[in-house]
Structure 1
Amino acid sequence: MKIFMSLLLLFLFMLPVRGKAEEPQKVVLQLRWQHQFQFAGYYMAQALGYYAEEGLDVEIRSAFTPEGKVLNAPEEVASKRADFGIGAIDILIAEDEKTDFMVVASIFQRSPTEFFMLENTPYRSPADLAGLKIARRRDDLLDIELQALLIREGIDPSVFPFCNHVGNFQVEDLVMGKFDVVPGYLGAISYYAEKKGVKLKRIKPIDYGIDFYGDTIFTRRSLALTNPELVEKFRRASIKGWEYALNHPEEVSRYIVDKYYPLAEDKQEILEFNLFQAEKVKDFTLYPVVQIGNINPYRWEHMYTTLRNLNLVHDNININDFIFDYESIKEERARQRQKLVNIFTLVMVVLSLFALTVYLTARRTMAELKAAFDKQLEENRQKEALIIHQARLAAMGEMMANIAHQWRQPLNNLGLVLTNLEDAYQNGELTPAFMAASMEKSRRLINNLSRTIEDFRDFLNPRSRKEVFYVYEAVTSVLDLMEENLRFHNIKVELNRLEMVCAYGYANQYAQAVFNVINNSFEVLKNSLRRDKKIVLRIYREQGMAVLEIEDNGGGIDEEIGDKIFQIYFTTKEKSKGTGLGLYITKTIIEQHMGGRISWHNTEEGLCMQLAVPAWGGHEDGNLQG
């Protein structure tokens, strides 16, 4: 018995113990250039508290030191002077040197590298470059894309000499005749050329099949594997910061000027450049068509193959080890932990049985021991069967009805994705990019179907913990779920008032309530003959409540049935198409579970439904005060 108690105490000691709130974890982000809108998402994640909410204290370092030295992001991360860095193809080159990197999120879905020449330069195709003086520097990352372009066109890059130019290439290098062609990144040269009235022509590597990623977050593989939660928190907060920055370019540009250039004499010129760059950044992120931070493993693999053809890398790359996948890492760690738990449990069981046998043998005969063991086993079986039966009876009825209702939309979207793939294949338009995008869309929908089970289980569980969440995030998660059907039926979604308001309650249940209301508007509008079908969303804070208004132009509700719409099983749809549970569940979530209120009124063209839940008292609002 003493052995049994000792092992039990050891097991209890191994269980995680919650202590006092931990101090924010300090991490360093190394940029690849000076402070500008190119890195706006990280500034916003810091300024709006997204990093702090994840328990992170992030230092954002410029690539330029006060002494004038330029820091190399891969070198800083590899040496552990920084935890995260911003890079592009230099990550792959460093990876070939066994620096053990892992990419976390690709922010720029296309490379912003371009090559510029004066408008009157005789150029029609890359073959004409042979007679031109090209600005090339050895080990320049921009030059790698030029080499790839030349090789793609059958031109040997070695016929063009390197130069010893120091500093940035500028439009003056073209005007003064120093070079005929100069490289540029993120449109800086074209911006200053337009300011000076100089007309340019440009070469885009992507026009010749050189499809590289641009700015990408990366970290050390060792850090990602030992502390994937830290990396996921940084990725999640950074993407939220980018979403805010891309939706508020002018506000964020002014913040950058005030924060990083407070004493500059040319503040207005810096502001204008950042506003120009904001438009460029949005183009290269492909926002909102592509999810911010999206990573296509095959594109990174293709980039590595291109570098190997240029003889810039030599080894093969394991793409699965190169791309950070939080869920896969969690699953692998869970499997390892489960193995240890199984071994420990087996040892516990064996030793416990041994100790129990020794203890009982001293006081009972073997027959008594067997009878007691059989009786206890039978009682446990009966208790287990009763618990399972009661749980099934409590959850089965309502859960099955709601799961069927919730799954209908994602399954329709999957059908549309498959139809689009079939059409593209039959018309000869099925490209790798379209196929990858469709597969990614399908995976997200399948994940949504899987999460539905967990969401409804939490809805039926009255002990769910309340949490602080952004109303905007709950709304966008619903819009992502319905995106394909909304676009298919030409229904436009507008956000004409957006405040980043925090609510306090059950985030998953709130998202379910939002889905029910938006889906009702969708069902009305999809059969409408209007050409301007739309759903308008407004998010704001009012009298301590986080308010979401969902307004459509679908014709509104008959006043005679207005007092019935929240009743259980009441529906205006055909019985085969409606359960009458949607608005009933929505009212239950908003008013009973979250202590809020739900109301509606007809507008000139349709219906406006208002959902108000308690706002988080820690913030007056989520907007950046700049």
Structure 2
Amino acid sequence: MSDYNLKNLLESANNLKILYVEDDKDVMVETLQTLENIFNNILLAKNGQEGLEVYQQNPDIDFVLTDITMPVMNGIEMISHIRQYNKEIPILVISAYSDVPYFLDTIRLGIDGYILKPIESSQFFAILAKVVDKINLQKENNIYKHKLEQRVQEEIENRQYQEKILIQQSKLAAMGEMIDAIAHQWKQPINIIAMNIDMLHYDYEDNLIDKEYLENFTTKLQSQIKHMVNTLDEFRSFFRPNKTQTKFILSSVIDGTLLLIKDDLIRNKIQVIKNYENDFEMVGCENEFKHLILNIFSNARDAFNERNIQNRVLNIDLTKSDGLSFLEISDNAGGIPDDIIGTIFKPNVTTKEEGKGTGMGLYISTQIAHKYGGELYANNIPDGVKFTFAIK
């Protein structure tokens, strides 16, 4: 081995920890004289059992140098046990035996070199240099892999953070629309209550107020107040961050969502046709699933308005087939362009005019679908598009 290569070996091996297993004291002493010139951290064992115990106590050992024929446990058995803990650790065998069975056993166990006794120094150094190079390369690769994994994780966390911001913006936009819808829903019952209060004064002057009158009056007002309270409760429930997992009937979730946007549907002249013949039960967070439905409803409403559709129909069907349950929401708003329909569930994809859509609604919906173990997909139908949520 050249002086240059020996110098490189000494520099590269200086900080490595090795395990040397040898039952012959004389051979161990002689070999140690060489090893101690190269390695600063050498752990010793006099048989395979002891060597295995030393390895178990020191899992940071960089490589193993071992004899084969030893008492208690031989080198082959020890190597086999060590390989169960670490399939990559370099192992060198030093033995006086050159029989084929030994070679085959060591090859099967994936050793990195077989050195025959008596040890020839140039061969020994050459094999050590290859092993040390392999170890240092593995360490460099591990460092690079760790840094790469760290960068990937940081990028994933950054993207998740950005997506959370976009999702939050989408939710806030939905909240704004819902508040506007509720304001319109409350306008009618407030007007009715105000009108009845105004009539109360005149009816009193006309001596029309009796017990029956008061009961009817109270019933009318309570009915309007109940409608307002129900709307408010649905709104609060929809935006409350409740992640409790419960069983729910899908039709009731759909009806709750429709109640939230009832006035919006009336104002936009959208007729809703429901078919709950094959209703089914799900487990999860009701409010979360309402977001999936609401996003599809909102897209249909916007499509109706953008294309100025006159007879606006939204069909909601609950069906079952081949062990699957389906929620199908279809409209007659003209469908989705073929060059876009394949990407509408990706983030930041929208068919709306600039500034009128976040491109996150359907992305959020498909994430919710996946969370429930289902799939959400869309396909164009005559005059419109059908969104289908499928679950086992």
TM-score normalised by structure 2 residue count: 0.48
| Larger-gyration structure (1/2) | 2
More relative contact order, 1 or 2 (CA 8 Å, 6+ apart): 1
TM-score normalised by structure 1 residue count: 0.31
